[in-house]
Amino acid sequence: MKALTWQGKRKVSVETVPDPVLQADNDAIIEVTSTAVCGSDLHLYEVLGPFMDPGDIIGHEPMGRVVEAGTGSNLKEGDRVVVPFTISCGSCWMCAKGLYSQCEITQVREYGSGARLFGYSRLYGSVPGAQAQYLRVPHADFGPIKVGDELPDHRYLFLSDVLPTAWQAVQYADVGEGDTLAVFGLGPIGQMAARIGRHLGARVFGIDPVPERRDMAARHGIEVFDYGEDTNDAIRDTTAGRGPDAVVDAVGMEAHGSPVGKLAHQAVGLLPDAIGRKMMEHAGVDRLAALHSSIDLVRRGGTLSLSGVYGGEASPMPLLTLFDKQIQLRMGQANVKKWIDDLLPLVEDAADPLGVDDLITHRLPLDQAPEAYEKFQKKQDGCIKVVLDPTES
């Protein structure tokens, strides 16, 4: 089959690789019909290189049709499914609490990481990813979400990651009717977090330096702001000087705005792998501009919800400010299946309350993935969300 593989820093290529086969009786193989590129893939492309091996298949936002189902899976050939990016057993102690991204059966203990993820480096189990024609789905007795045949792929596809991640971010932010919410970063995760905030009745501010991302959010009732020195004051001014009740940080470590961080990022990419890994783990190479702005903006006693992924253990956090402002901080990898019952009716609703019809900017054959990665990273050509179609070449 053809698959998108990681080959080195900022280098991915489509290669012919062996088809996946069933390895356990609760596995299934799906033929992938749509598979999205995520902001998280950019971390692999850039800073997580030391944890990747050339030839690793990337991708974790797929849907498709079952072509082979193990006897212990709850699927059959022909089923149409969306596959969550986290691989969970569904029945261990953590899964029983709905903390599926902490599954104790699939945790990657070697690296001290949570549940395995598709296509997400040694840190998350080196599981072959989903930007490919076929995908082996472990724990197919629990993970895959069966969907109907009537609606097009893009209505369901974002149940794999973007929607549950955004939903969890807003649940953790704990906002509802009449509350105020600011969302830093209007990539796909921030777009959906902002729209979900609106859907739940909050007044929502969205901050992003990229004009077309602000335009997209504005189409969905979000009050948008460029990222700049006066932004937080402008937002405070409209919230009686206090700041919003909650802030979602949907930027993560590819943030703009911190030149020091950028240098460190580049340095990690240039180091030999073993040293780069250590630096990534301990030196705090993160670009924390958006996170610091989020801490500054949230009102005293408010909640900060992080969905952007930050790595590096020595990240300098303004603990004094967090303490003094009595900020509640919640974060984590999405517990995808926990939120599907809330989300499925919304994506199937003909009125499209979350606007899933307005998120994809590029749908391309898998062959064009390398160009798509570059476009997405550089934010060229109005690129906000790319979906690859492995059935087309």
Ligand X SMILES: NC(=O)c1ccc[n+]([C@@H]2O[C@H](COP(=O)([O-])OP(=O)(O)OC[C@H]3O[C@@H](n4cnc5c(N)ncnc54)[C@H](O)[C@@H]3O)[C@@H](O)[C@H]2O)c1
Q: Give whichever of 279 and 347 is closer to Zn ion, judged by the CB atom.
A: 347
Distances (CA, A) of 14 to 5, 55, 186: 6, 10, 29
For 79-237, where are the alpha helices, taking DSSP H only? 93-96, 153-157, 162-173, 188-199, 211-218, 231-237
Q: What is the closest distance, in whole angstroms, from the C-beta atom of residue 312 to Zn ion in the complex?
A: 20
Residue at token pair 């992003």: 208
Confirm or reject binding of residue 236 to ligand X (CB under 6 A): no
Residues 61 and 157: beta-carbon distance below 8 Å: yes
Both tokens of residue 113? 């990481």
Secondary structure element (H or E) that encloses residue 345, with its range: helix 340-348
For Zn ion, the closer of residues 88 and 303 by Cβ is: 88
Q: Binding of Zn ion at residue 180 (CB under 5 A)?
A: no
Contact flags string 150-179 toward ligand X, x per CB under 6 A: -----------x---x--------------
Which partner in ligand X, Zn ion, none is near 105 (CB below 5 to 8 A by kind)? Answer: Zn ion
- How far apart, in whole angstroms, are the C-alpha atoms of residue 120 and residue 311? 14
Q: Which does 245 bind (CB under 5 to 8 A by kind): ligand X, Zn ion, none?
A: none
CA distance 348 to 256: 35
Residue with tokens 């509802």: 176
Using CA atoms, how far apart are residues 185 and 188, in angstroms rounded to an integer?
Answer: 9
Question: Least distance from C-beta 342 to ligand X, angstroms?
Answer: 16
Binders of Zn ion in range 111-170 (CB under 5 A): 161
- Residues 40-69 within binding reach of ligand X (CB under 6 A): 40, 42-43
| Residue ranges in 196-235 that form contacts with ligand X under rule CB under 6 A | 207-210, 213, 227
Contact 217, 191 (CB under 8 A): yes
CB of 292 to Zn ion, least distance (A): 24
By C-beta, is 157 or 246 nearer to Zn ion? 157
H or E, element range at 15: strand 11-16
Distance separating alpha carbons of residues 115 and 109, to the nearest angstrom: 9
Span from 37-45, 143-151, 288-296, 310-318 in contact with Zn ion (CB under 5 A): 37-45
What residues make contact with ligand X under the rule CB under 6 A? 38-40, 42-43, 161, 165, 184-190, 207-210, 213, 227, 250-252, 254-257, 289-290, 307-309, 333-334
Residues that bind Zn ion (CB under 5 A): 38, 40, 61, 88-89, 92, 95, 103, 105, 161
